[in-house]
């Protein structure tokens, strides 16, 4: 596959990269570092992509494996607007709800951010389990806890 | 993804990045890549030290010095070999075949193995190399044969004091710099591994 074709695949699924990077990067400099690292790892791993899974699932693995094993340059506290306007928005009805949800997600730990993002993107529990390397039952338990935590955070944020 | 509105700031940034990127020239900043390079330099440097010891063993006449140098050579060969074993297991590329948990564990165990190796090197290799250098440098500086130079009681005492001082200094310096460079990253990895394993 040529570079041009590879880049076209990346463009078609760029929302995944932008979403994952925005979950973990604190500014545009760090976002650019992550983009570069993810693209490098995706390009190097591309020959291994046999088409057995969806390209989006493959790219999600690259993004999460890269970001969660990269050395952070900055503090992990993110500004409220650090999460992109992507599929998370589809889960809410208004911009205000979306902003509140985004604010709550930024307060989660690294692992919970990944789990809830995969869930909000429509991945089933067995798929999330396969991507993260834990059992589907553990995914179910964790998602239940994360949702409770998110609703509490949203309530707290609205009361402030 | 399903963005129907105007492109966000992040989308513009990503588009600009893609427009300027040269895939063949991309470099990784993965911590394992940096460790891998450092380890390679250590192996090459260690190999050069081994060659120097070989030359010195051939060059000196005194049997006792030959024996000391042979011990130093064996130690250096062990250090180079164990470094090579770790180096051969290094894979700086992020694996898609591994799930997130497995990949984080691979990074964590590889990095801790590297750090342990560096600490052992700090504990033995540097002070022993310094002692070897002390013997050869001292003999060359005094203009005396090594055996005569080392037969002086004060010189022997000085050598022992030097090694005794260097041992903890080298060990703690290596530990300090490793912690400075990778401490936060390793703590992040460990915390995320524990978080993911929770409830398994």
pLDDT for residue B171: 83
Report phi then psi at A25, rounded to 5.
-90, 145
User: How far apart (Å, rounded) are the C-alpha atoms in residues A95 and A102?
Assistant: 10
Report phi then psi at B182, rounded to 5.
-125, 0
pLDDT for residue A94: 57
pLDDT for residue A91: 44
pLDDT over 50 (residue A12): yes
Residue in B187, B185, B176 with CA at minimum distance from that of residue B31:
B185
User: How far apart (Å, rounded) are the C-alpha atoms in residues A19 and A14?
Assistant: 8
pLDDT for residue B44: 92
pLDDT for residue A83: 45
pLDDT for residue B5: 56
A14 HSE (CA, 13 A, CB side): 20
B111 domain-assigned: yes
Average pLDDT of chain A, as a whole number: 84
Residue in B53, B58, B74 with CA at minimum distance from that of residue B135:
B53
Q: Which residues does chain B have within 8 Å of residue A53's beta carbon, measured at their own beta carbons?
A: none
Q: For the residues of B32-74, what is the DSSP string, one character each?
A: HHHHHHHHHHHHHHHHHHHHHHHHHHHH---HHHHHHHHHHHH
pLDDT over 90 (residue A149): yes
At A137-147, the pLDDT tens digits run 999 999 999 99
Domain extent at residue B190 = 29-87+100-197
B14 domain-assigned: no
Average pLDDT of chain B, as a whole number: 83
Among the partner-chain residues B5, B17, B185, the one whose CB lies closest to the CB of A71 is: B185
Interface test with A, best of B12, B100, B185 (most A CBs within 10 A): B100
B174 domain-assigned: yes
B94 domain-assigned: no
pLDDT over 50 (residue A81): no
Contact criterion met (CB below 8 Å) for B177 and B92: no
Q: For the residues of B136-180, what is the DSSP string, one character each?
A: HHHHHHHTS-HHHHHTSHHHHHHHHHHHHHHHHHHHHHHHHHHHH
pLDDT for residue A92: 42
At B146-199, the pLDDT tens digits run 777 877 888 888 888 888 888 888 888 888 988 888 899 999 999 999 999 998
Is A61 in contact with B100 (Cβ distance < 8 A)? Answer: yes
Interface pTM, i.e. ipTM: 0.83
* Chain mean position to CA A76: 15
Residue in B89, B113, B105, B106 with CA at minimum distance from that of residue B178:
B113
pLDDT for residue A96: 67
Q: What is the mean pLDDT of residues A21-32?
A: 89
Please name each of the domains of chain A with its CATH number.
1-75 (1.10.1740), 86-160 (1.10.10.10)
User: How far apart (Å, rounded) are the C-alpha atoms in residues B27 and A36?
Assistant: 8
Q: How many domains are contained in chain B? A: 1
Is A109 in contact with B94 (Cβ distance < 8 A)? Answer: no
Ranges B5-9, B76-80, B161-165: which has the least confidence: B5-9
B95 domain-assigned: no
């Amino acid at each position: 596959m040529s570079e041009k074709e590879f880049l076209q695949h990346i463009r078609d699924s760029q929302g995944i990269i932008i979403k994952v990077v925005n979950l973990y990067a604190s500014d545009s400099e760090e976002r650019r570092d992550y983009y570069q690292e993810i693209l490098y790892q995706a390009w190097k791993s591309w020959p291994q992509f046999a088409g057995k899974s969806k390209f989006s699932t493959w790219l999600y693995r690259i993004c999460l494996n890269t970001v969660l094993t990269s050395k952070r340059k900055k503090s992990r506290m993110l500004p409220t607007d650090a999460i992109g306007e992507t599929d998370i928005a589809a889960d809410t009805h208004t911009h205000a709800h979306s902003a509140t949800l985004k604010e709550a997600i930024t307060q989660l730990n690294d692992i919970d951010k990944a789990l809830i993002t995969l869930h909000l993107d429509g991945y089933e529990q067995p798929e999330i389990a396969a991507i993260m390397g834990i059992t589907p039952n553990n995914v179910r338990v964790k998602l239940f806890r994360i949702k409770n935590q998110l609703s509490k955070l949203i309530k707290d944020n609205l009361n402030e | 993804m399903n963005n129907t509105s105007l492109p966000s700031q992040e989308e513009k940034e990503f588009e600009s990045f893609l427009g300027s990127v040269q895939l063949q020239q991309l470099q990784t900043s993965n911590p394992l890549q940096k460790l891998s390079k450092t380890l390679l330099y250590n192996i090459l440097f260690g190999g050069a030290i081994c060659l120097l010891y070989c030359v010195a063993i051939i060059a000196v006449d005194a049997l006792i010095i030959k024996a000391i140098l042979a011990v130093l050579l064996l130690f250096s060969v062990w250090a180079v070999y164990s470094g090579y074993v770790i180096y051969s297991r290094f894979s700086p590329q992020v694996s898609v075949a591994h799930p997130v948990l497995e990949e984080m564990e691979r990074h964590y165990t590889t990095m801790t193995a590297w750090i342990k190796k560096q600490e052992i090197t700090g504990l033995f290799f540097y002070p022993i190399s310094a002692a070897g250098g002390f013997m050869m440098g001292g003999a060359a500086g005094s203009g005396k044969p090594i055996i005569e130079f080392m037969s002086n009681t004060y010189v022997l005492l000085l050598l022992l004091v030097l090694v005794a001082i260097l041992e903890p200094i080298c060990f703690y310096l290596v530990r300090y710099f490793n912690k400075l460079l990778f401490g936060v990253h390793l703590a992040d990895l460990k915390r995320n591994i524990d978080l993911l394993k929770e409830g398994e």
